[in-house]
Structure formats: C-alpha cells, structure tokens
Chains A and B, each alone.
Chain A
C-alpha cells in the first residue's frame, strides 16, 4: 500500500509530462557512532526524479548527498539506519522491500556510477568480466550474449572492444570512468545515480564524461540523480536541483529558477562563490565558518550561525518549506520552487 502523496512538490502530471519515476518523501537517516551517539545525517529529505530528467543533489561535503543516494540504494554502511520516510520507485516503496527483493532492484532498475573508478573496479579481474558480472548475476543473458552486450556497451562509451580483456590498471582515468558508465548501463536501468562522477578527472576528461552521460541519457531516456558540489556541472546537466545543507533540503526547484532567482541565503551565497564569466575581475564570496556537527545541531535553522541575513526567529525555530513558485513559473514548469527559510513568503508546504 502506498500512502497518498503528502507533499505535492510536483503538480499532477499534465498531459505530456511523465509521473515521477522516483518519489522520495521525508527521508531521514541516522548514523550511530561507536560511542552510541546518534548523528542525524538526513532529515526530512524530499524530491522527485522524472524519467529523462536529471536531478542535481548539491551541497558541501558532509551535507548528506552521498548518504541520500546510499539510503535509496539501501547500501548504507552498518552504522546507518533509515529512520523514516518513503521512496516510491515506480509504485513500490524501496524502503519497505526485503533485502532479497531489493537485490533485484539494484542495477536492473537503478544503477550507480561511483566517484572513484579505480577503487570501484576490482584490480584482479578484467574490465569486461566486471561489466558482464551484473548481467550474469541477474541472469539476464547467457555468457555468450553477455560478451556481445559488453562489446556493445564499450562501443557506446567509446572504448575499443579489444580492451575488455584488460585489467583496470591498464586503463587511463577517463577510460575507467567511462567503463564505470558502461557497467552502470549493463542491465538497462531506468534510474542512474552518479556520485560525483567527474571529481577525480581533469577538466578535459570531465567534459568528455559529462557529454557522454548526457548523450546516453538522451538516447535511453534515463532518469539521473547527479551528486556533485560543482555548480558548473549542475548548470550544464540538471533539470531540477536540490540544494542540501546539513542533511536537509534547503531549496528545491528547476535549475532555471535556482540559478536565476535563488531564495535561500545559502543558495545565494553558494552561487556568489562561483566565478561569473561576465565579471572576471570580481572577487568571490565565501561563506564563513563550517557546517555544524551533526550531533550538535543548532536549535533553529541549521544555516543560522553562518547566515548573512539571519533574524531573531532563525535562532529558535527551524524554518518550514515555503512554496515560492512564481506565477509565471507555475504555468511553464511542473516543478515547484520551495525553500526552507523564514525570509521567504508564500504558502507553507503541508506536511
């Protein structure tokens, strides 16, 4: 049984727009440290991912981007616990599945591109073998068909077929990342999580890998969740953006709205900290201080200690998500624009 959508951040699908493939609502995850302290790594995270669209999860290190992704794949380390929320994938709540049911979803429905391809590949097995691994594991094809599929996948990401017999150390960094993408596509998933797929690469190869991801997404109609802290990558790749701060969604909206009229002070600061090509000489803004420790969160808004626009209420009361969708935007986009800030005006999103 699936509960009705209690948090309608997306309008009912109009004609021509698809229903969300993945609908995450109120996802909360805790980590329990060795001395039994509870760290609230994720608190009430909600977003939608629609087929063929890219969602960017953006934020500083430690804000819960990767934790969100691992929670949804149900691959959290042993110390992690999902405490509440739901993640409806194509009508099924992933968080209520048993481990063996979940295993059928992994890779066949939702695949992952890891941050560091060198570490994610087993150094003592050939790349082709590892790409075929998932196909054979899910029993999708026999070995010969899988071999042919591996060759197709390598063609797709621009790696010579003959290199499938080689080991990861014989690949360059960019090739390894492309091999990871080929591996992610092996079972024809509908949803792809990409965890900072380009951070370990230089700028040239970064552009190559991103272009490849974009092409493949367009060809296959994949939904992509892109975890990154690079706003340039987000602007280039994403349709919707969720700005995360300290385990919470600070602002969520179409990337057009987020870039052109950011409502949350954190988003504004984040964008100011990014160099603008039109004003090359300008010095960049920086956000003073550090994110709070997850076991010593401020009582009010989590960004309050670092916020340049803080008011008294910020210190005591945590802000609710406010619908700040402009009337013009409401007509053109199905994604609502929401921000969690006391300064924003608009109707509160019902919980």
Chain B
C-alpha cells in the first residue's frame, strides 16, 4: 500500500513537473479556475441579488446605466446589476457545461468501449448510429429536441433538459476516439492472458481496458466541457435557456432582445460574451495540454529536457572557457 502511494505521488510529481513548464497549460488552468471560483463564490462576489433593481437617490430604477459606483459593469434594461448576473450566470453555465460534459463522456466512453471491445454486429450497429448523429448538424437538432421536449411538458426543468440533450447527443467524437483505442488494446496479449485465466468480458473491460483508456477520457472530458458550455450558450441565446436562472447565453439573449446593441450598452452584452470566451479558451488550452501529457504518443518532453541539458552544458563550458 505504501509503495502504491509513493508511486502515485511520484506520478503526480512527474505530471506536475511537466505541467508546470507548460505555459499554455498554466494559462488554461488559470482561466478555468477563475471561472469556477466565480461560480462557487457568486454570492460573495455579487453586491446585489440577481433580481434586485438598483435605484438612485430618488428611488428611480437605473436602467441601462453605464459602469458606475452603483454597479461595476453597469445595469441592464430592468436596472439589475450586470456583474451580479454575470457571477450567478457562471453557476448555471458551468453546471450545465460540466454535467453535460460528464454525461456525454460517459455515454461516449460506454459506446466506444462496447463497439471496440465486442466488435462484430454490435460495433457495426453502434458505429452506424454514431455516423447518423455525426452527419446531422448538432445545433438544429438540439434546438428541435429542446423545443419539442419542452412542449411535451414532461416536468423536466429547462436546465436539466439542456444537460440531457447536450449530453446525449454530443458523444460521437468521443465514442470514435475511445473505440479506436480499445480496438488496439483488446489485441494486446495481457487481454489474451486475462481471457486465459477465465475472466469474463466485464472483468476484462473493468480491470484491463478501462484503466488504459482513462487518461484519454480525462483529457477529452475537459475538451468536451468547453464544447458543452458553447452549445449551452448557443441554445440559451436562441431562447431555449431558463429565463428565471439566466446563464451567460441567456444574458446575451436578453441583451439582444432588449436592444442593448442599438442602444450602445456594451456593458450589457460584452461581459457574458467575454466570459464564454474566457472559460472555453481555458478548457481548450488545458485539455490540449492534458492530452499531450497523458497521451504517451504525443510526449516530447524528454527530448526537450535533453536538448536543454546539452544547451546548458555548452553554455557552462563556454562560460568556464572565458
């Protein structure tokens, strides 16, 4: 047990050593962590309640007020603080992004592993379904589905509905990625050995296949989360979000619908837009770097460090020579 712990610590230390030197990774982590912090600490960061109308000394609502002492990012058409909405919107956007990302990863991994491991007609069936989903454009399909399911009135909250639709539709690339990895893994000899000791399919998948595709799944999840946040923003902008719990996409929708753009109220539409860019950029950078570190085939860091050592040695010898 202690040996295992030491190995885990060593692996983490190794991970940190590579990660620390990667500027893109650090930027990505910073962007993502600040967004998460905003979502978690929203009540502390926001000076008002999200639905509260700010009034001036005469008791009149401050509508479309530019950034001032009343609100750091101004107010919207109903006199509500934009900064407060942005902080609370982070909660909705991030929650939908993460949950939909995890759901899509789970579905994609399950389908990818089943298709790759079992092969034959299961593979054919699952991959044809994947192909069909792959050629239908995501956004129109999701719009139709969300709208239709809402009209059915099955009692799902709009946010839950968004999570479900994004998670259950956006798994095709993951499934294909995992499938290709499993196709190669299942031909490895330790899988043959596992069969030889009398292991069933469940045991082999759980103990031998899953641990090997896990790094791929982890790296891909971060990338999928960014896509899920983007999709949610798009759908919410088109009016499919929950107006009582505005996400960043819903804020953009409000800004657009209430003529913030023609009125020149940039403080109303720029912050949510930038926030979406902020968090998706963070996820993308972090995901790429994680993929690079966790996927041994993409690593080049040992070559880099050697080159560094050579360069340093030549500098030192040059320094000692003079």
Q: Which residue of B188, B190, B197, B199 has the most chain A CB atoms within 10 A of its CB atom?
A: B197
Partner of B198, one of A107, A119, A123: A107
Contact B189 A107 (CB under 8 A): no
Distance in angstroms between the alpha carbons of A114 and B196 in the assembled complex: 10
B188-216 residues at the A interface, CB under 8 angstroms: 188-190, 192-200, 203, 207-208, 211-212
Contact A104 B190 (CB under 8 A): no
Distance in Å: Cβ of A128 to nearest Cβ of chain B: 10
Distance in angstroms between the alpha carbons of A104 and B196 in the assembled complex: 10
Number of B interface residues, CB 8 Å? 22
Contact B196 A106 (CB under 8 A): yes
Given A137-B203, A165-B4, check contact A108 B198 (CB 8 Å): yes
- B153 in contact (CB, < 8 A): no
- B56 in contact (CB, < 8 A): no
Contact B192 A75 (CB under 8 A): yes
Partner of A103, one of B119, B198, B207, B208: B198
Contact B197 A137 (CB under 8 A): yes
- A134 in contact (CB, < 8 A): yes
B195: chain A residues within 8 A (beta carbon): 75, 106
Partner of B4, one of A108, A119, A123, A126: A126
Partner of B193, one of A103, A114, A162, A166: A114
A81-124 residues at the B interface, CB under 8 angstroms: 103-108, 111-112, 114, 116, 119-124
- B316 in contact (CB, < 8 A): no
Contact A120 B189 (CB under 8 A): yes
Distance in angstroms between the alpha carbons of A137 and B7 in the assembled complex: 26
Distance in Å: Cβ of B192 to nearest Cβ of chain A: 7
Partner of A114, one of B1, B189, B207, B208: B189
Distance in Å: Cβ of A160 to nearest Cβ of chain B: 12
- A138 in contact (CB, < 8 A): yes
A103: chain B residues within 8 A (beta carbon): 198-200
Contact A106 B4 (CB under 8 A): no
- B3 in contact (CB, < 8 A): yes
Contact A119 B190 (CB under 8 A): yes
* Closest partner residue, chain A, to B190 (CB atom): A122
B196: chain A residues within 8 A (beta carbon): 73, 75, 106-107, 111-112
* Closest partner residue, chain A, to B193 (CB atom): A120
Contact A106 B3 (CB under 8 A): no
Distance in angstroms between the alpha carbons of A108 and B199 in the assembled complex: 12
Contact A134 B188 (CB under 8 A): no
B200: chain A residues within 8 A (beta carbon): 103
A35-92 residues at the B interface, CB under 8 angstroms: 73, 75, 78
Partner of A104, one of B3, B198, B207, B211: B198
Distance in Å: Cβ of B102 to nearest Cβ of chain A: 23
Distance in angstroms between the alpha carbons of A123 and B193 in the assembled complex: 13
Distance in angstroms between the alpha carbons of A108 and B198 in the assembled complex: 8
Given A122-B208, A125-B211, check contact A107 B197 (CB 8 Å): yes
Given A108-B198, A134-B197, check contact A121 B190 (CB 8 Å): yes
Distance in angstroms between the alpha carbons of A114 and B203 in the assembled complex: 20
- A348 in contact (CB, < 8 A): no
Q: Which residue of B192, B200, B211, B212 has the most chain A CB atoms within 10 A of its CB atom?
A: B192
A73: chain B residues within 8 A (beta carbon): 196
B198: chain A residues within 8 A (beta carbon): 103-108, 134, 137-138
A137: chain B residues within 8 A (beta carbon): 197-199, 203
Contact B207 A133 (CB under 8 A): yes
Distance in angstroms between the alpha carbons of A104 and B195 in the assembled complex: 11
Contact A119 B188 (CB under 8 A): yes
Distance in Å: Cβ of A120 to nearest Cβ of chain B: 5
Question: Per-residue 0/1 for A178-200: is the Cβ within 8 Å of any B Cβ (1 yes, 0 no)?
Answer: 00000100010000000000000
* Closest partner residue, chain A, to B192 (CB atom): A75
A116: chain B residues within 8 A (beta carbon): 189
Contact B212 A124 (CB under 8 A): yes
Distance in Å: Cβ of A123 to nearest Cβ of chain B: 8
Q: Which residue of B192, B198, B200, B208 has the most chain A CB atoms within 10 A of its CB atom?
A: B198
A112: chain B residues within 8 A (beta carbon): 193, 196
Contact A166 B208 (CB under 8 A): no
Contact A120 B197 (CB under 8 A): no
Residue pairs across A and B with Cβ atoms less than 8 A apart, 18 shown, are A73-B196, A75-B196, A105-B198, A106-B197, A114-B189, A114-B192, A116-B189, A121-B190, A122-B190, A122-B208, A125-B208, A133-B197, A134-B197, A134-B198, A137-B203, A162-B3, A165-B4, A166-B3
B interface residue numbers (CB < 8 A to A): 1, 3-4, 7, 119, 188-190, 192-200, 203, 207-208, 211-212
* 15 extra A-B contacts, CB within 8 A, seeds A121-B193, A126-B4, A134-B198: A75-B192, A104-B198, A105-B198, A108-B198, A111-B197, A119-B188, A120-B189, A120-B190, A122-B190, A125-B208, A125-B211, A134-B197, A137-B203, A166-B3, A167-B7
